[in-house]
Chains A and B, each alone.
Chain A
Amino acid sequence: MKDEKEMNQMFQEILEQHKGILFKVTRMYCQNEVDRQDLYQEISIQIWMSLDKFNNKYKISTWLYRISLNVAISFYRKNIKREVTNIPLSEDISQIQESDYTEKEHNLNLLEQFISELNELDKALMLLYLEEKNHAEIADIGYFCK
């Protein structure tokens, strides 16, 4: 059992070094900034609460993906009304001026729409796929496609 100070430090380091994972997961499951912040907070709390259960046999990123995706799936089921039509674009996309609306942005828009229509488990699988995780890692994180 780690002491409080050690856990605080470990927690800060994990959040700092791996915040990218949290950002990607929140982005995958939330359409707007407020929900993203809430989900980010929920995931952080769960990481904090699971710190003493961390098992060194797994990579820390695997452990973080598991927690983040599990929290995100539950959060998604609790909070998000599944509207498959009229999906609001995320803020930074909607701020793009019409003149800047390049093919890349258009494709990004399509990708976002496609992701938003997936069910909660497929979203997780899609994230791991886009992150170029190999089959073994995907199996470790999600138990999908072992």
Chain B
Amino acid sequence: MDEKEMRNIWQSYNERLESTMQVAYENVGEIAKIKLKSFLHSMKPFKVITIIIGILWVVFVDTLIINLWTTANLFFLISACIQTVLTKVAIGVYLYQLYLIYNVDLSEPVIISQERLSRLQFSTLLVPRILFLQLPAWTTFSWHTSMLYDGNIFLLTIQGVISILSVYASIWLFLNIRYENRNKKWFRWLFNGKEWDPIIESTELIRQIEEYKSEEINSTGAY
């Protein structure tokens, strides 16, 4: 099949298709409802539930901090504050990125819009990166000043090692969860699951766009 024949086939099929397809709706009132439905549809239940749980958790921890401010030990208060501040930041970043994704201008050229959309989608990984930073706080909740003086040295050492390792792991994950590592085994293992699929697929589209760009550079010498 040569190029001309291919185009002819395409054109003749288009004519047939246009004459048989019906426009699904033309009522503007209906479209307004669909707009709302479309927005709500984009907020998948998983995302909504995650945000609600996050907000409830922050309210719960904040209430604890306020009520126990004068009686709780210092380690608990500091750990809880770190935890709640990072959760609040993560929720804020998540909502802001959802807003940005929903508002990408789709009347821009295809490559520009798709790259922006894919990179934004991938950047939602900033949320788990921030949440991983809380890891050390989970190991210091139960610490108490008295245990530093009277505690069992063996248990103290174990607790210290666990806390140091969690600090290392949280910083390492914060620095290494990025696009360049998307094909690493640990990355795929960490983000394995249906809820991560759109983010992993966005990396595939970014790769295709980068291929287009490099072909562009090769063919024209500049992008």
Contact = CB atoms under 8 A, between A and B. Distances in A.
Chains A and B bind each other: yes
B17 A92 contact: yes
B205 to A, nearest CB: 7
Contacts, number: 121
B195 interface: no
B120 to A, nearest CB: 12
B1 A142 contact: no
Given A45-B31, A111-B1, A143 B18 contact: no
Q: For the complex, would chain B's binding face be called helix, strand, loop or mixed by DSSP majority?
A: helix
A66 B108 contact: yes
A3 B35 CA distance: 18
Interface string B1-21: 100011101101110111011
Interface string A25-68: 00100000000110011101110111001110000000100110
A78 B121 CA distance: 13
B10 A130 contact: yes
B182 to A, nearest CB: 16
B10 A140 contact: no
Contacts of B208: 119-121
Contacts of A121: 110-111, 114, 205, 208-209, 212
Nearest to A66: B107
Contacts of B209: 121
A143 B109 contact: yes
Given A41-B24, A66-B106, A66-B109, A77 B201 contact: yes
B9 A53 contact: no
Interface string A7-24: 010011001000110011
A55 B212 CA distance: 26
Given A44-B31, A146-B220, A15 B23 contact: yes
A74 interface: yes
B9 A111 contact: yes
Nearest to B32: A48
Contacts of A67: 106-107
Nearest to B20: A92
B30 to A, nearest CB: 10
A9 B113 CA distance: 27
28 contacts: A11-B31, A15-B26, A19-B23, A20-B18, A44-B25, A45-B34, A45-B35, A48-B31, A50-B107, A66-B107, A66-B113, A67-B106, A69-B110, A70-B113, A73-B205, A107-B1, A107-B5, A107-B6, A107-B9, A121-B114, A130-B6, A130-B7, A139-B109, A142-B110, A142-B111, A143-B111, A144-B111, A146-B220
Given A41-B24, A44-B31, A70-B110, 20 more contacts: A11-B28, A15-B26, A44-B24, A49-B35, A53-B107, A54-B107, A66-B106, A66-B108, A66-B109, A71-B106, A73-B110, A104-B9, A111-B6, A111-B9, A140-B109, A142-B111, A143-B111, A144-B111, A145-B219, A146-B216
